Amino acid sequence: MRRPAPKKTRRAGSLSARLVDYVTLDVRADGSIAAGVGDHAIGLGKVSADAAKRAQRLRTGLRLDTVLPRAGNGDNELLPLMRRLAGHGLLEYRLGHGDEDEVVIEPQVPDYWPRLQPLDPADVLVLSRFAYMRRRGNEMVLESPRAGALFRICNPAVAAAMATLSRPQSITALRRQSGFPGKELLGVLTDCQILFKVEPGPDAGLRPTEGDDDLVLWDFHDLLFHARSTEGRHANPTGGVYPYVGVMAPLPAVRAPWPGDKIDLRAIPDAQQAAPVAKLLRERHSTRAFDDQRPITLAELARFLDGAARVQANFTSRLDLDDDDSPEIAYAARPYPSGGGSWELELYLAVDRCDGLARGFYHYDAGEHALVSLDVCTPELDAMLAGAEFAMGASAAPQVLITIAARFGRVSWKYSSLAYALVLKDAGVLIQTLYLMATDLGLGGCAIGSVNNDLFARMTGLAFHVEGPVGQFALGRGGEPEATG
């Protein structure tokens, strides 16, 4: 009996770039071209009339293989224009046939550009343990906190094929499936670390086979929370955008009282006598405007760091696991409490104005009570300070911006399921400590909730899952008093 011919599978098609749906291109008489985003125009430079005409194809999709260099040749005008558009987050990428999308790639980090990792038919691929598929409105998306893009799956057969990669499979085996997504998509997914190559065997796909030792320490939900609750690694709206205005009323400032007998503590004798620390707590407030005619001094900054963050004691303790090989753990106690005695938080100072200290980016060595200068680009330092200014709604950058970063492995080496939650609790405790120290020294301070993961990684050279920001604190000599929270 003759074997039936294999069913032809539909491939996802070639990779194309196109403008996101809210962007227009405007070509002016002098040859300059601009991208229109609402009422704003972003200049993109000048191109020839021919390049401008070809650029209009970005409205529906322009195949990348027609502009990328091949054999030393590329489109010398169109490719730079497209890279500038990508740098502003104005491009998305599609795989499909004709006008029908199979997969749409939505960049999540600045200047994302799709790259295809080379794959052989014998390569074995598996989904990252950080990858997940979810419903977004009426769409299905595939994403990962490690990926620079998310993938909008428009064809259910592609989604089904992705699900089969929960177990390692060779590309040869994948080609035989009716929903084979195409080698181009597999290559881009591998580049985004949503898929990764493994060696055939029973341990393929386990934690140690994906990424470095620091990645082994992360649970899925912790890394996702870290990546999506900070700026820099996603394209979702961030901050005070009031998404439920008109949907529901704001909750009351004070909870409605429970029914039952009430004991009035104000009637207790001596209950109203404030202790010194209570007075300090009541005087604490957020300062968003600083007196740049009288900046904070290096001596004041040293006293502030000494009182709030300097290592107080070093000691070691052997882990009791009823095992002769139990490791010995080192501890470095600081003025604030920390979950499990981890003291995983590090302080990085972006200094704009400080009498006696040069403008720059510094790490506070809490053990040696010293500031170590880090070599960073001026635009990156400016961007970090500008981000804090915007987050505070201030008219100028803070004199000193303290970024609180966590060495995550100090906590996740011990704790499971709640490691990242403990890091955030530690950050909250430290922020209150910084507030009280600033108040005691007569300085102004303001906690900042939004931090940029990607910018901090570029400035330090540290992967976002190894050591990353979890909060910021603006510090300086306060200007006019203000009634703030």
Tens digit of each residue's pLDDT (9 = 90 or more) over 75-130: 678 999 999 999 999 999 999 877 889 999 999 998 899 999 999 999 999 999 99
Q: All domains of the chain, ordered by start, with CATH? A: 15-228 (no CATH), 272-476 (3.40.109.10)
Residues 263-274 as b/e (b if ≥16 CB within 10 A, e otherwise) read eeeeeeeeeeee
- The answer to whether 404 and 431 have CB atoms below 8 angstroms apart is yes
Asked if the model's pLDDT at residue 2 lies above 80, the reply is no
Over the stretch 392-442, which tens digit does the pLDDT of each residue have?
Answer: 999 999 999 999 999 999 999 999 999 999 999 999 999 999 999 999 999
Q: Give whole-number Cα distances, 402 to 239, 364, 384, 388, 449, in Å.
A: 19, 10, 10, 10, 12
Q: What percent of the chain has pLDDT over 70?
A: 93
DSSP state at residue 129: T
Structure tokens of 296?
Answer: 């904070």
pLDDT at 212 over 50: yes
Q: What was the pLDDT predicted at 443? A: 97
pLDDT at 70: 64
Is residue 9's pLDDT more than 50? no
Q: pLDDT at position 455, please? A: 96
Q: Which residue has the higher pLDDT, 188 or 267?
A: 188
Percent of the chain with pLDDT over 90: 76
pLDDT of residue 74: 56
pLDDT band at 12 (very low <50, low <70, confident <90, very high): low
Amino acid at 473: F
b/e burial code for range 138-171 (CB count within 10 A of at least 16 → b): eebbbbbbbbbbbbbbbbebbbebbeebeebbeb
The whole-number average pLDDT for the span 259-263 is 94
Residue 483 — pLDDT band, cuts 50, 70, 90?
A: very low
Please check whether residue 93 is in contact with residue 18, taking contact to mean a CB–CB distance below 8 angstroms: yes
Taking 80 as the threshold, does the pLDDT of residue 320 lie above it?
Answer: no
- Helices 419-440 and 220-228 pack at an angle, to 10 degrees, of 40
Report, as an integer, the average pLDDT of 358-386. Answer: 98
Q: Where is 101: in which H helix or E strand?
A: strand 100-107
* pLDDT for residue 180 is more than 90: no
Average pLDDT, rounded, for the chain:
91
Is the pTM of the predicted complex or chain greater than 0.85?
Answer: yes
- What tokens were used for 449? 């909730």
For residue 434, give the nearest of 276, 284, 282 by alpha carbon. 284
pLDDT at 119: 95
Nearest one of 450, 425, 435, 421 to 309, comparing CA atoms: 435
71 has a pLDDT exceeding 50:
no
- Does residue 290 carry a pLDDT above 90? yes
Radius of gyration from C-alpha coordinates of the chain: 27
C-alpha dihedral over 445, 354, 363, 420, to 10 degrees? 10
Stretch among 185-189, 196-200, 221-225 having the lowest mean pLDDT: 196-200
Residue 99, token pair as written in the block: 């006008």
Q: Is residue 271 over pLDDT 70?
A: no
In this prediction, residue 68 carries a pLDDT of 82
CA distances from 452 to 41, 63, 152, 228, 456 (A): 25, 32, 25, 11, 6
Q: DSSP alpha helices (H): ranges in 209-327?
A: 213-216, 220-228, 276-283, 298-309
Per-residue model confidence as pLDDT tens digits over 277-286: 989 999 999 9
